[in-house]
A and B are shown apart, each in its own frame.
Chain A
Amino acid sequence: EIVMTQSPATLSVSPGERATLSCRASQSVSSSLAWYQQKPGQAPRLLIYGASTRATGIPARFSGSGSGTEFTLTISSLQSEDFAVYYCQQYNNWPDTFGQGTKLEIK
């Protein structure tokens, strides 16, 4: 199965600043890459699919890029509600696999 590796494990950023999260696949997943946000006690929320397409209702400050094995999620100006855990997921090869997560915390 494809292994997804996220970095860093924890990212400390101040509100209003930009956050950049990385995700690497153990082999090419083309653009079949999604990003999720999860807050404590809540289900994951789909942010990005197809590596760069925002899901319905997702603010424009969230953007995704990359293809193949290297992907990035950028949050352009952090709001208080953005501090959460973020997961990447590949769905190019069965089984779908998730990264271990990046915790975005307030600096």
Chain B
Amino acid sequence: QVQLVQSGGGVVQPGRSLRLSCTASGFTFSGYAMHWVRQAPGKGLEWVTLISYDGSNKFYGDSVKGRFTISRDNSKNTLYLQMNSLRPEDTAVYYCARGDYLDWGQGTLVTVSS
């Protein structure tokens, strides 16, 4: 069955960096665009970024543009989110999701705090 297994996350100080990973199985990863979606504690869902199936196109929400970078390695069936210049308002559970939003990772908590 389809699985998206996330890793990374944790507590980081403001201004520092963190990288999240999302490893896919059970479907042809290289055939799908992939998203990152986040959810601040007790809040709703916010779309963060999208990468096309081959990595040639990337889109970012205004709140992370210029600070976050999405990438993928289709040979490893893995999606990445490099988060730089982190701010307290980036504190959230981050989810990876397949392009059609049918399947989601389990989520990983990123806490930005001094």
Most chain A C-beta atoms within 10 Å of own C-beta, residue among B35, B47, B95, B100: B47
B102 touches A95 (CB 8 A): no
Interface status of B104 (Cβ within 8 A of chain A): yes
Interface status of A106 (Cβ within 8 A of chain B): no
Most chain B C-beta atoms within 10 Å of own C-beta, residue among A56, A89, A95, A100: A95
Contact check: which of A36, A95, A100 meets B59 at CB < 8 Å?
Answer: A95
A98 touches B101 (CB 8 A): no
Contact check: which of A43, A45, A98 meets B47 at CB < 8 Å?
Answer: A98
B61 touches A95 (CB 8 A): yes
Q: How large is the interface on B (under 10, 10 to 19, 20 to 34, 35 or more residues)?
A: 10 to 19
Interface status of A65 (Cβ within 8 A of chain B): no
B107 touches A43 (CB 8 A): yes
Q: How large is the interface on A (under 10, 10 to 19, 20 to 34, 35 or more residues)?
A: 20 to 34
Q: How far is the CB of A29 from chain B (nearest CB, A)?
A: 14
Most chain B C-beta atoms within 10 Å of own C-beta, residue among A45, A96, A100: A96
B44 touches A43 (CB 8 A): no
Q: Contacts of B107 on A, CB cut-off 8 Å?
A: 43
Q: Contacts of B102 on A, CB cut-off 8 Å?
A: 46, 55-56
Q: Which chain B residue has the least Cβ–Cβ distance from A100?
A: B44
Interface residues of B, Cβ cutoff 8 Å to A? 35, 37, 44-47, 59, 61, 95, 100-102, 104-107
Interface residues of A, Cβ cutoff 8 Å to B? 34, 36, 43-46, 49, 55-56, 87, 89, 91, 94-101
9 smallest CB-CB distances across A and B, nearest first, come from A43-B104, A98-B45, A96-B47, A100-B44, A101-B44, A46-B101, A95-B47, A46-B102, A43-B95
17 interchain pairs, CB-CB under 8 A: A34-B101, A43-B95, A43-B105, A43-B107, A44-B37, A44-B45, A44-B104, A45-B104, A46-B102, A49-B100, A49-B101, A87-B44, A96-B35, A96-B47, A98-B46, A99-B44, A101-B45
